[in-house]
Amino acid sequence: MAEIIKINPKNPDKKIIEKAAKILRNGGVVVYPTDTLYGLGVNASDSKAVLKVFKIKGRENKPVSIAVANLAEARKYAKFSPLALKIAKKFLPGPLTLILPSRLNLPKELNPNDEKVRIRIPDNKITLELIKKFKFPLTATSANLSGGKNPVIAKEAIKQIGDRVDLVLDAGKCKYNKPSTVVDLSSAKIEVIREGLISKEELVC
């Protein structure tokens, strides 16, 4: 069973953040809070670690999003059109996942079917501090079994995958309690793949 540590969402303990970052550096798996749902985090630049995510969730050949700390980091991994940049500056950090052309410096396992990357900048202090300390992008898929209940509290993640991860950071209920909006901006148009907290109407305004 995973180690479970409670962490203050407004003032996260630096020692806890460092502990989580060390686990990630060693190829481990951390469940962490975001602004939407609890995320299942491994080193997104490590192919072997990414494969652990598929095994834990019980799914194959579906894209896995990554989380980065800021827009400058996002631009290292994805190609932003003027439209994508405009939307990113308006809504990020926040409950939005952007699908963009990949710069191909991430493992193919993250998106086996095409040369795109799904990228997030969550509006969550714990997530952002962890990424900054770790210095690599994290996988940002939800911390549940494929098709399972959305983990808006740590307990829901623990119930589903607690025996398959190394550490759970419990920060209470997530801010929005709903998945992010997923929008494909890899071409010249806005294509909403999943409408979450941000509506299509808001994106096109």
Above 80 in pLDDT, residue 205? no
Q: State the residue range of the domain holding 191.
A: 3-204
Paired residues of 97 in beta bridges: 120, 182
> What is the rounded distance in angstroms from the CA atom of residue 56 to the CA atom of residue 69?
25
Q: What is the CATH number of the domain that holds 38?
A: 3.90.870.10
State residue 104's pLDDT score.
75
Six-digit token pair at 119? 């990228």
State residue 113's pLDDT score.
83
What is the rounded average pLDDT of the residues 113-128?
Answer: 95
Which pLDDT band, with edges at 50, 70 and 90, does 112 fall under? confident
Above 80 in pLDDT, residue 200? yes
> What is the rounded distance in angstroms from the CA atom of residue 1 to the CA atom of residue 126?
22
Q: How far is CA 10 from CA 4, 7, 151, 175, in A?
A: 18, 9, 20, 12
State residue 44's pLDDT score.
97
* 101-137 burial: b if 16+ Cβ within 10 Å, else e: bbeeebbebbbeeeebbbbbbbbbbbbbbbbebbebb
Looking at the structure of the chain, the number of domains it has is: 1
Average pLDDT value for the chain:
95
> What is the rounded distance in angstroms from the CA atom of residue 158 to the CA atom of residue 143?
9
Above 80 in pLDDT, residue 141? yes
What is the rounded average pLDDT of the residues 90-112?
Answer: 93
> What is the rounded distance in angstroms from the CA atom of residue 165 to the CA atom of residue 40?
9
> What is the rounded distance in angstroms from the CA atom of residue 184 to the CA atom of residue 97?
9
Tens of pLDDT, residue by residue over 31-48, are: 999 999 999 999 999 999
Q: Select from 128, 142, 149 the least CA-distant residue to 182.
A: 142
